[in-house]
Amino acid sequence: MSLDQVREIADAVLYEGYLLYPYRASSGKNRSRWQFGVLGPPQAGPGCFSEEPELALQCLLRSHTPQATVTVRLRFLQLQAREVQQPDRHGRYRTVPAVTVHGESVLSWDEAVERELTLPELRLSELVEPVDFPLQVPGGSDPEPLAGEHARIVRRRWPLTVRVRIGTEVDGGYYRLTVRVTNQHPEPVTGKDAAVRVSLLGSHLVLQAIDAGFVSLLDPPAEAVAAAGRCRQQRCYPVLAGTPGSHDVLLGTPIILYDYPQIAKQSPGSLFDGTEIDEILTLRVLTMTDQEKAEARATDPQARAIIDRCEQLSPADLQRLHGVLHDPGRPSPNAEPPAGLPWWDPAADAEVRPELDAVRIRGIDVRRGSIVRVRPSRRADAQDLFFAGKLARVSAVINDVDGAVHVALVLLDDPAGDLHEWYGRYFYFAPDELEPVPQATREESRS
């Protein structure tokens, strides 16, 4: 299959946290930037605030041929310092915070360069003895003149030294593949900035199998449950990726995802902000002043792209960001409700009717209007325990998107019960926390 779809997800991981709203160099949180999947230098000093130098994942593959192979791709960002320089009176260039070129500011700033290192195709059957791949990513310095000879940009990178170790074991008829990535920068490092310069940022793995299939570790088949439970992860979590139902690509990321993650089709582009909510951040960008937008554009090309994209969104584009019904009964996680129905309309899923649905408890159908006795047991908090033994009337039986059943209740002896019913402010309990009360018992309790 094409890896383009997987790279779209991988790029979101790559840049997550790269630049945070309000995207300006003057913002405190962007002067102390952070990302997931940082592999720091192993000899970082105590004041570097450096992260661990290693990540590793283990996954399972099923294959019926010794010809099965796997290809490993390591992807990360390499820091690139953008230095704006001007000559002094002796003609020697000095780094300055900013210059103005043709009416626009250009700032000194730390950018990044995308790296993707593809290792040779390897046979699973030949990896019983682990194989090491020492990798070098060169540094460099690229000058770019600005406004003739009066200023220039120098983009500077520092060399990276990486080792990838790949090996397999056989477990219950499956190959257990281990991929370990280590930053092996050879020299001691002092200071936070120096440590980041020789770190791998946003590190993650893309694995592709031929004549073999990856096994879901989140939902393994029954015969693979034990072997899946023996897989160990270190700062990198494997999920199936690509077309739902396929098993030839696996994505290992420092962010915990579900199998077959997708970018919401309503999203017009990445915002790089942790747990971003596109609508809120987009509206925030649009409230920035012209001066703030100018600074953001001068800060980083990625920030410039965000500002430009947000300003070009139409009212219809913004409306699409407002919300969508995700129906677990539909094959696509981004499926829209039927045409003409707002997402909150119960007609969008006519099979779900909480006011009529029932759940069977101890051989009795419990539905709206049923009387039950509350027996809190599941992570019961103090309020739940106050309800222990009390009678309650069922207002609705609700099924959530994960298939769990919740029973909405109003206590019979609650003086505000009618108001709670009217406002829809219910107490929720699981079916096994409730005991149906027969009609005779109810009448006895009233007398």
Please indicate whether residue 351 or residue 16 has the higher confidence score (pLDDT).
16
Kindly report, residue by residue over 161-216, the tens digit of the pLDDT. Answer: 999 999 999 999 999 999 999 999 999 999 999 999 999 999 999 999 999 999 99
Q: Which of 53-57, 100-104, 232-236, 441-445 shows the lowest per-residue confidence on average (mean pLDDT)?
A: 441-445
Question: Does the reported pTM lie above 0.85?
Answer: no
Q: Per the structure block, which two tokens stand in for 177?
A: 């593949």
Amino acid, res. 404:
A
DSSP per-residue string spanning 7-22: HHHHHHHHHTTSS-TT
Per-residue pLDDT, 447: 43
- Asked if the model's pLDDT at residue 331 lies above 90, the reply is no
Question: How far is residue 232's CA from residue 57's CA, in Å, rounded to a whole number?
Answer: 7
Encode pLDDT of 272-294 as tens digits: 886 678 999 999 999 999 999 99
Measured distance CA(377)–CA(389) in Å, rounded? 12
Provide CATH 2.30.30 ranges for the chain. Answer: 359-446
pLDDT one-digit tens code per residue, 289-315? 999 999 999 999 999 999 999 999 999
Instruction: Report pLDDT for 319.
Output: 87
- Among 199, 204, 195, smallest CA distance to 117 is for 204
Residue 147 pLDDT class (50, 70, 90 cuts): confident
Predicted confidence band of residue 352 (pLDDT cuts 50, 70, 90): low
User: How high is the pLDDT of residue 445?
Assistant: 47
Report the run of H or E that residue 117 belongs to, with start and end.
strand 109-118
User: What single letter denotes the amino acid at residue 327?
Assistant: D
What tokens does 91 get?
A: 């003609």
Question: Which of these ranges, 149-163, 188-202, 240-254, 338-352, has the smallest mean pLDDT?
Answer: 338-352
| pLDDT level of residue 435 (50, 70, 90 thresholds) | very high
Reply yes or no on whether the pLDDT at 99 is more than 50: yes
Cα 161 from chain centroid (whole Å):
27
Average pLDDT rounded to a whole number, residues 374-387: 80
DSSP 269-292: S----TT--HHHHHHHHHTS-HHH
Q: What is the mean pLDDT of residues 429-441?
A: 84
359-446 maps to which CATH number?
Answer: 2.30.30
Q: Is the pLDDT of residue 257 over 70?
A: yes
Which position has the higher pLDDT, 399 or 346?
Answer: 399
Q: What's the pLDDT tens digit per position in 17-29? A: 899 999 999 988 8
- Cα separation, 420 vs 283, in Å, equals 35
Alpha-carbon distance of 392 to 414, in angstroms, equals 9
Of the pLDDT bands very low, low, confident and very high (cuts 50, 70, 90), residue 39 is: very high
In 3D space, the residue among 70, 54, 158, 53 whose CA is nearest the CA of residue 119 turns out to be 70
Q: What is the mean pLDDT of residues 376-381?
A: 75
